[in-house]
């Protein structure tokens, strides 16, 4: 492995992001920045390593960035398509994990449930990376805060407003934002708040890092003077039967020009994509010069390369 890669002492997996300390997250940001600035330093760093990609959900950014990422580091991927047959149906998850650990050096899983991710990790001796579950999306949030650090220079005290559903992305923004020392504000409709346990853990961590976690009564309160405005789809994969109810509940939570105007003068718009223009965000906001959604998408590659270097070395 390239000498420029500084290994971290942490758990073998990335399941939630909460298993990594603030100091370890900070080191990961440093590594991602070096990977992005000096990609040639890391060519061949994971030569001979194989990564299994288990996907129960369709993917553009996650699949491409992991496949390109490990390939550029000298490794290779094996894609296991579980969009038709769910993980655990044909063969138990423990058996899948115990087979894969004999052939590959890591597992990236994009699943409907966090329990599936956890079961893979419990039964495999190799690293397991959560590429999205119903509860967390740590690779996304790590990439997002890395993107904000590039943009603003520091994450300490940076105000990020999340407006929308208290979903997996929201959970990971809370946990990673707390570790970064950011000021994360959340505005969700009644009945769609993030999980209380995730909020509690984020608040404990924020006290350590001098960050701040705040639940706001309205989108306007959350967005006021914020430097980053973040939203996500109102209806995630697997919630299709809730579309009508969710559209009614979230109608006042669209990030449009009127709401965005209440943010800081240098504020940026963020979205994990795919986006529904005219629903959670207006076309005028997401397609404006202040939108950094494609910077976020690009940085998924660099951050995930840093994660792979950290866990597969």
Domain ranges of the chain: 22-136+298-312, 141-292
CATH number of 141-292: 3.40.50.1370
Nearest to 46 by CA among 109, 102, 97, 104: 104
Per-residue model confidence (pLDDT) at position 10: 62
Give the end-to-end CA distance of the chain in Å, rounded to a whole number.
7
141-292 matches 22-136+298-312 in CATH topology: yes
Q: Tell how far CA 44 is from the center of its chain.
A: 26
Per-residue model confidence (pLDDT) at position 38: 98
Positions annotated as catalytic residues are 110, 137, 140, 232, 272, 300
Per-residue model confidence (pLDDT) at position 206: 98
> Mind listing the pLDDT tens digit for each residue in 124-170?
999 999 999 999 999 999 999 999 999 999 999 999 999 999 999 99
Say which CATH class 22-136+298-312 falls into. alpha beta
Is the model's pLDDT at 1 over the cut of 80? no
Is the model's pLDDT at 9 over the cut of 80? no
Q: Percent of the chain having pLDDT more than 90?
A: 92
Nearest to 225 by CA among 158, 146, 180, 179: 158
Is the model's pLDDT at 222 over the cut of 70? yes
pTM of the model: 0.95
Mean pLDDT of 26-43: 98
Is the model's pLDDT at 2 over the cut of 60? no
> Mind listing the pLDDT tens digit for each residue in 232-273?
999 887 778 889 999 999 999 999 999 999 999 999 999 999
> Mind listing the pLDDT tens digit for each residue in 98-120?
999 999 999 999 999 999 999 99
- The residue ranking higher by pLDDT, 75 or 313, is 75
**CA–CA distances in Å: residue 243 to residues 71, 162, 238, 249, 273:** 38, 20, 11, 10, 18
């Amino acid at each position: 492995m390239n000498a420029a890669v500084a290994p971290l002492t942490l758990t073998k997996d990335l399941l939630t992001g909460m298993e990594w300390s603030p100091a370890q997250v900070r080191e990961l940001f440093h590594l991602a920045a070096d990977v992005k600035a000096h990609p040639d330093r890391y060519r061949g760093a994971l030569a001979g390593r194989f990564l299994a990609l288990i996907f129960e959900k369709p993917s553009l950014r996650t699949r491409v960035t992991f496949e390109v990422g490990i390939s550029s580091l000298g490794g290779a991927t094996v894609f296991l398509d579980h969009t038709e047959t769910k993980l655990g149906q044909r063969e138990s998850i423990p058996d899948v994990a115990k087979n894969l650990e004999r052939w590959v050096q890591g597992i990236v899983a994009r699943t409907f449930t966090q329990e599936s991710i956890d079961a893979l990790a419990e039964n495999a001796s190799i690293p397991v990376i959560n590429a999205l579950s119903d509860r967390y999306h740590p690779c996304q949030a790590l990439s997002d805060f890395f993107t904000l650090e590039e943009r603003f220079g520091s994450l300490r005290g940076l105000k990020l407003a999340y407006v929308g559903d208290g979903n997996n992305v929201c959970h990971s923004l809370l946990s990673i934002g707390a570790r970064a020392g950011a000021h994360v504000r959340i505005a969700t409709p009644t009945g769609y708040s993030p999980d209380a346990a995730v909020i509690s853990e984020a608040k404990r961590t924020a006290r350590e890092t001098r960050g701040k976690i705040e639940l706001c009564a309205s989108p306007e309160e959350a967005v006021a003077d914020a430097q980053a405005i973040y939203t996500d789809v109102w209806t995630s994969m697997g919630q299709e039967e809730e579309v009508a109810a969710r559209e009614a509940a979230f109608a006042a939570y669209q990030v449009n020009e009127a709401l965005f105007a209440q943010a800081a003068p240098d504020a940026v718009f963020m979205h994990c994509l795919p986006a529904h223009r005219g629903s959670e965000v207006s076309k005028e906001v997401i397609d404006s010069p202040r939108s950094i959604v494609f910077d976020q998408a690009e940085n998924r590659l660099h951050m995930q390369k840093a994660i792979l270097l950290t866990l597969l070395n």
